[in-house]
Amino acid sequence: MNSKSPKKRIIVDGRMHSVKPEGYHDLEHRMAFIRKLPLYLRQGSVVLLLVVASNLLTHRIASAGLMGLFSSKDEPALYLIDKAEDYVYDVEDFEKKVRYISRRLNIKPEWLMAVMYSESKFDPSVLNYQGTGAVGLIQFTPAAARKLNVSPERLRAMDAIQQLDYVYQYLQQVKVKHGNFEHLNDLYLAVLAPEALGKDYCYTIFARPSPEYERNAILDENQDGSVTVSDIDRRMERMFPTAYWLGSERPATE
């Protein structure tokens, strides 16, 4: 297909006349002026025009390319991003970084958003109110922070965008040890109890009367005194249905 714009034509006194494209006459006048100059000036002027035109074209191509790389204008807003506005000073950069590290982890960004919202409501400085010492976007425990060579205090002092680097590092460590995250449930378990990854639905993570169960009793969906992988699945589906159904089939229940 010819991509050139068709020439515009008008009829005057019964005859068809071509209409010059916009900007044509300005260029024609400039070229006529250049043709009247001495040869040495004429050559220099033509070169200058070509350089300017080339620079303008390069600038436009580069600008278009950068927009294509970094703009998410054509993408719908990221799941739950509106919930981050209270704690994230630059929501646009936060969204870009979430998408970036999700690609590196080979997960859906919606999964990561759901996990962070569940754990911290996107507050990077939040401290676990039950005294576990867990902090930040995914509630880094003191033990997890040590493995990342960072202190909980330093994590709390970071903004959300900075802390995402440690979110990525933590999840990458879990991924290397336990394998890929195939579903939202896997990503949540990576934060809550990595040892439960790959276990059956009936696997018990916490049980009454342990302190761990008491701290996480809210996860006991059927209130039977134990938190199982099945409870996590039900909770994720109930709280984050959009993220739950993205990217893979629902895990087979026992």
pLDDT at 194: 98
pTM above threshold 0.85: no
CA distance 97 to 126: 20
Pick 90-244's CATH classification: 3.40.50.2300, 3.40.50.970, 1.10.4080.10, 1.10.530.10: 1.10.530.10
Ordered per-residue pLDDT tens for the chain, 254 residues: 444 444 444 444 555 544 444 444 555 555 666 666 666 665 665 555 554 455 544 444 443 443 334 444 567 999 999 999 999 999 999 999 999 999 999 999 999 999 999 999 999 999 998 889 999 999 999 999 999 999 999 999 999 999 999 999 999 999 999 999 999 999 999 999 999 999 999 999 999 999 999 999 999 999 999 999 999 999 999 999 999 999 755 544 44
Q: Where are the domains of the chain?
A: 8-70, 90-244
Residue pLDDT, tens place only, 34-78? 666 666 665 665 555 554 455 544 444 443 443 334 444 567 999
